[in-house]
Chains A and B, each alone.
Chain A
């Protein structure tokens, strides 16, 4: 079932067009270069806290931020790219990892519980899945749209099923995302369960899809779902690094970054992407230069 082409829809890059692709690239590419700097800083032991890098899933965050502008965000750990894509200040994230008062949570949350008030992104307490009912409560109370993101492990938590049911009953303006990397730390989904979160959501009357992390396919479904909320996406993704830390478990099942940039190059965007990448590299470098060069 897991594959890089699950739910593939042909010709979507062309349909969404050049401008969409370049903005998508700009956001995802900056996420990646920022994360490279975090990795470098961790390896230089500028901080020793647990870090949850989003290398491999940058395009998920980038496409959410493009399609779900104005949404309130309730994420989990591994949310650096979400934070950055939705407009969280990168300097405040850097400072948070460094444990500084100028961090996005004044050093109280580290890597896994970050918030970005400027981007309507709420903090996560560390209890996996807890963000889902909290997002539902926020959507109910404000009647404003909310995005909540959990993983393939936290979707098994007791918080989820009743939240989906309540969202369906109350027709809450919610997008639920399960970013499914097939791993609970290192235990595979097939070891833990025989059911599909998308089927559970669908059984409650929530429009649901089970797709790979192709950003254009995600964009296509979000565009449709936004017209009839709530909606649920199980997105098969691949994290390239350890659950926590900078190491590598194995060769990635697929490399979404490479697949997506290749598709963008087919649109004839290579030279423009190169310019964007240079700018992003420079920006990430400038943000981290002082502490990495000291």
Chain B
């Protein structure tokens, strides 16, 4: 079963059997969002209102309908976010009234979709209190996140990536006793890090690889901390912007919890263009490999500065 089929299955069960609701714009058109939306009851096609639309979902959550709110392009969260951050995330702490909305925020990149529709923006949603953030890339991870949502009463920000929808694999962390570096990868950074490892193997560099599902709360696995203490060198790779982003935030946390120098690699600090040579997307396997080679070389030379 692919991730898209998994999302569709979870959604169908929620809408048909749990009295759930799904809100979104044009969700029943053009491929039904990559095949993730089932053809069943309780789907609400809302008008084109990226400002008021999330409020509809918040109101439904107040009525215990546990709505799924879908934003087709994660870049559109800039104007979808107000009621989600300012009401859903705050309500439990301010009024003791939970507002459980499952926010499906879908990242895309490449194919010339440009500076607004492209990219992932999960980092900004790590800032406000009351909003857990997850980045599932596999069927089982998605189920874990969904179960978390059902077992808790918080809203949850789920940063999806269209490129993962066809994935049916699960990923294991890869740890070696003699590794040179520990890579912690997020979102599409995980797929690219897997490819980067192949390049690094050919260059004689061994890298641990940890797949990180939860950005907030961020609870590093014991094996991750152990591996970082062993390699003394880490790199967090993400599909969001690097500056004040998830990659740097997690690197900071890990540096405080280990003896390792942990670096961050995300999107560059520039606007994404439409032409392929102007795009600003998840660091490629080649780029990740290049950075790792330089970091490892610097350490071997006794330098720990960022490349």
Tell which of A16-24, A48-56, A159-167 binds the partner. A159-167
Q: Does A133 contact B (CB under 8 A)?
A: yes
Q: Does B108 contact A (CB under 8 A)?
A: no
Chain B residues near A132: list those with CB within 8 A.
52, 55
Size category of the A interface is: 20 to 34
Residue from B59, B63, B86, B96 with most neighbouring chain A CB atoms (10 Å): B59
What 1/0 mask marks residues of chain A from 107 to 128 whose CB sits below 8 Å from any chain B CB? 0110001010100001101110
Contact A162:B52 (CB < 8 A) given known A134-B87, A137-B57: yes
Size category of the B interface is: 20 to 34
Please determine whether A159 and B62 come into contact, CB atoms closer than 8 angstroms.
Answer: no
* Distance of A50 from chain B, by nearest CB (Å): 16
Which residues 39-64 of B have a CB within 8 angstroms of A? 44, 46-49, 51-63
What 1/0 mask marks residues of chain B from 83 to 122 whose CB sits below 8 Å from any chain A CB? 1001100110111110000000000000000000000000
Q: How far is the CA of A162 from the CA of B79 in the complex (A)?
A: 14
Please determine whether B58 and A134 come into contact, CB atoms closer than 8 angstroms.
Answer: yes
Q: How far is the CA of A130 from the CA of B44 in the complex (A)?
A: 20
Please determine whether A134 and B86 come into contact, CB atoms closer than 8 angstroms.
Answer: no
Contact A163:B95 (CB < 8 A) given known A127-B82, A130-B83: no
Contact of B62 among A108, A126, A127, A134 (CB under 8 A): A134
Please determine whether B59 and A141 come into contact, CB atoms closer than 8 angstroms.
Answer: yes
* Distance of A92 from chain B, by nearest CB (Å): 12
Q: Does B21 contact A (CB under 8 A)?
A: yes
Q: Does B65 contact A (CB under 8 A)?
A: yes
The binding surface of chain A is classed by DSSP as helix
Q: Does A138 contact B (CB under 8 A)?
A: yes
Chain A residues near B93: list those with CB within 8 A.
108
Please determine whether B59 and A139 come into contact, CB atoms closer than 8 angstroms.
Answer: yes
Residue from A122, A123, A132, A162 with most neighbouring chain B CB atoms (10 Å): A162
Q: Does A105 contact B (CB under 8 A)?
A: yes
Contact A159:B95 (CB < 8 A) given known A122-B62, A137-B62: no
Q: How far is the CA of A133 from the CA of B50 in the complex (A)?
A: 11
Please determine whether B91 and A123 come into contact, CB atoms closer than 8 angstroms.
Answer: yes
Please determine whether A166 and B46 come into contact, CB atoms closer than 8 angstroms.
Answer: yes
Q: Does A158 contact B (CB under 8 A)?
A: yes
Instruction: Known A-B contacts: A108-B93, A109-B95, A127-B83. Give 17 more (CB < 8 A).
Output: A125-B86, A130-B83, A133-B54, A133-B58, A134-B59, A137-B57, A137-B59, A137-B63, A138-B63, A139-B59, A140-B44, A140-B60, A141-B63, A141-B67, A159-B51, A162-B51, A166-B56
Where the two chains meet, the residues of A that have a C-beta atom closer than 8 Å to any C-beta of B are: 105-106, 108-109, 113, 115, 117, 122-123, 125-127, 130, 132-142, 158-160, 162-163, 165-166, 169
Ordered by A's residue number, 12 sampled pairs between the chains whose C-beta atoms are within 8 Å are A108-B95, A109-B94, A115-B97, A123-B94, A126-B86, A136-B56, A138-B62, A140-B60, A162-B48, A163-B55, A163-B56, A166-B52
